Amino acid sequence: MTQVLDLLLLRRLLPSLTFIILCLMLLLLIFRSDRMLPPQKYMMQLSDEPAWVQNQTTGTTVLKGQSAHLIRVKGSKTLLVSAFLEHRTKPRKVLVIAIMFRKEKVSLQCSLRCREQLHVSRASVDIHWDHFGFPYGTADVSCPLPPACQAPTHVAVTSAAIRNPDEADLEFLEVQNQKALTVFPYNFTSCFSTMYNYTNILQLVQTVEMLQLLGVNRIVIYKTNCSNETQRVLDYYTDKGLVEVVPWSLSKYLKVSRRAKPDQDPGDIHYFGQIPALNDCLYRFMYRSKYVALHDPDELILPQTVDSWSQLLPLLEKRHGADRCFNFENNWFPTEFTERPPPPNVLPALGHWHNVFGVNILTHLYREPVKPKPVFNNYKIIANPRSVFVVTVHGVLRSQENCAWVDRKTAHMYHTKARGQNGLKAQQLVYDGRLLSYSGRLTAAVNAVLNETRLLPE
Ligand SMILES: *[C@@H]1O[C@H](CO)[C@@H](O)[C@H](O)[C@H]1NC(C)=O
Ligand SMILES: *[C@@H]1O[C@H](CO)[C@@H](O)[C@H](O)[C@H]1NC(C)=O
Ligand SMILES: *[C@@H]1O[C@H](CO)[C@@H](O)[C@H](O)[C@H]1NC(C)=O
Ligand SMILES: *[C@@H]1O[C@H](CO)[C@@H](O)[C@H](O)[C@H]1NC(C)=O
Ligand SMILES: *[C@@H]1O[C@H](CO)[C@@H](O)[C@H](O)[C@H]1NC(C)=O
Ligand SMILES: *[C@@H]1O[C@H](CO)[C@@H](O)[C@H](O)[C@H]1NC(C)=O
């Protein structure tokens, strides 16, 4: 009796059993196609440098800037900057930010590490179009995720011409952004790309203090080199937990140009490799900061109707919609002009600051006249980083929605630097004293920092 029942049951189950067996075979096939490699000893390049450092004296935890760990791909001119899990594409993938020789025809493959196993997949390459005519450009190297490896912790990229790369030769990047977090430790992060031969201490301290008044909690600085005094200031802010210095030593690998175009200063890559640095910053802070601002230390985006970025962004989102990026119009404040005497509350500081090297932004309140639109004007952005895929020097190359232009009466950028010959006469410049509404708080804050870093005369 039971045997008959069993048989009946079997007959009824047979079609579904066949289906399950077919599925299993299909899965096996897929597994084989991503060619499992034997386990190998754990390599973690990035963790030679401890990321979080506890300062025993102050008790604060400090994130020492993790070096952007440049890796050269064997058998190719490609350089790898950093790797991230990209949660927003369907299907998800690993994005490796890279620097590629544009003329080189190379196909790349990814070795993705999941637990103790390696899974190989064929990479696709997209070189960003904003290479400005230099031989090298920033590139997205995309690694598809094999079904058996959906959350790799590390990735190595090799030339596909090397069929079976020697395991011991593989150099791994840590895959960052493992989780698509929705709560962020920072509200605003500013990324300063490529600090080179930097000596402008007074303007740096003023900008960093202004940014804090505006609501910024994190500043990332991609640094090639600077004066010893600047380094003292950077160390001070790093110990405070505000600044993260990312050593940026691309010049060890490539001849970096110091200018924006090859005819101004020929080289392998645009302006110290600023563009890969900016893209690295965007992805590093995608799930650590509510907003990311991309600008230089001589640029300040100032709201005109409210006091801070914390108040400005809700306004902009109400007007233009949430989850996007905002372009802020540039205004030049040439340091060659100091017309009107500074107000009394700034005057006492000027005596003290006389011996501190660099530009004092509080004394440059005249801007060049605004050019009629539409004109490219070196604008900069504040973005919800999760709405952006690719950034460039000025603005965004690819995002979920186009960036919104912010009306200059709501906010615009103050770019204080030497302009050299610009053909303008002093009387053509326009007074703009917006910065002075911060001068009391700013002066006190700057004095405190200069004093603590022993940059003020006794
Ligand atoms: C800890 O912080 C103090 C005060 O900012 C600083 O002088 C000291 O160098 C820091 N120590 C380390 C190990 O960073
Ligand atoms: C971020 O902004 C919110 C709302 O303005 C504020 O309550 C919070 O303290 C800010 N966080 C930091 C780290 O400044
Ligand atoms: C570094 O900057 C100083 C002025 O601050 C300048 O005189 C010098 O030529 C610069 N050096 C390089 C290598 O750019
Ligand atoms: C930065 O590096 C350049 C090239 O090595 C050098 O000429 C310059 O003096 C350095 N700048 C500072 C401020 O150390
Ligand atoms: C800067 O610091 C380095 C290392 O601390 C030192 O070797 C060098 O002489 C300093 N340079 C100047 C100009 O003081
Ligand atoms: C400068 O710092 C010292 C201690 O380091 C302090 O006694 C002094 O009051 C400070 N001066 C100013 C102007 O902040």
Q: What is the pLDDT along the chain (458 residues), one digit of tens a residue?
A: 444 445 455 455 555 656 655 556 555 444 444 443 333 322 223 333 334 555 556 544 444 445 556 888 888 889 999 999 999 999 999 999 999 888 888 999 999 999 888 899 999 998 887 877 888 889 999 999 999 999 999 999 999 887 777 767 788 999 999 999 999 999 999 999 889 999 999 999 999 999 999 999 999 999 989 999 999 999 999 999 999 999 888 888 888 888 888 888 888 888 788 888 999 999 999 999 999 999 999 999 999 999 999 999 999 999 999 899 999 999 999 998 876 777 777 777 777 888 899 999 999 999 999 877 655 678 899 999 999 887 787 777 787 778 899 999 999 999 999 988 777 888 889 999 999 999 999 999 999 999 999 998 76
In the chain, list all ranges with CATH 2.60.40. Answer: 71-176
**Residue of the CA atom closest to atom 9 of ligand 3:** 197
Cβ of 400 less than 6 Å from ligand 3: no
Q: pLDDT value at position 256? A: 86
Q: Which CATH class is domain 71-176?
A: mainly beta
In ligand 1, the atom with minimum distance to the C-alpha of 236 is 5
Cβ of 444 less than 6 Å from ligand 6: no
Distant-in-sequence, close-in-space partners of 193: CB < 8 Å, separation ≥ 6: 222, 272, 274, 277, 278, 281, 294, 296
Distant-in-sequence, close-in-space partners of 136: CB < 8 Å, separation ≥ 6: 77, 99, 100, 101, 102, 254, 268, 269
Q: pLDDT value at position 130? A: 80
Cβ of 249 less than 6 Å from ligand 4: no
Cβ of 249 less than 6 Å from ligand 3: no
- Closest ligand by atom to 197 CA: 4
Distant-in-sequence, close-in-space partners of 154: CB < 8 Å, separation ≥ 6: 43, 44, 112, 113, 172, 173, 174, 175
Pocket test for ligand 2, best of 183, 184, 186, 187 (most atoms within 8 A of CB): 187
The dihedral through the CA atoms of 79, 81, 82, 88 has a sign that is negative
**Residue of the CA atom closest to atom 6 of ligand 1:** 239
Cβ of 197 less than 6 Å from ligand 3: yes
CA of 356 to the centre of ligand 6 (A): 17
Two structure tokens written together for 204: 């740096």
Q: What single DSSP character describes residue 250?
A: G
Report residues whose beta carbon is within 6 angstroms of any ligand 2 atom.
Answer: 186-187, 217, 310
Q: pLDDT value at position 376? A: 63
10 Å CB burial of residue 408 (0-12, 13-18, 19+) is: middle
- Closest ligand by atom to 230 CA: 4
In the chain, list all ranges with CATH 3.90.550. Answer: 186-452
Cβ of 402 less than 6 Å from ligand 3: no
Fold designation for 186-452? Spore Coat Polysaccharide Biosynthesis Protein SpsA; Chain A (3.90.550)
Cβ of 265 less than 6 Å from ligand 3: no
Strand partners, 404: 326
- Closest ligand by atom to 235 CA: 1
**Cis bond before residue 276 (omega within 30° of 0):** no
Contact 248, 216 (CB under 8 A): no
CA of 198 to the centre of ligand 5 (A): 14
Contact 125, 139 (CB under 8 A): yes
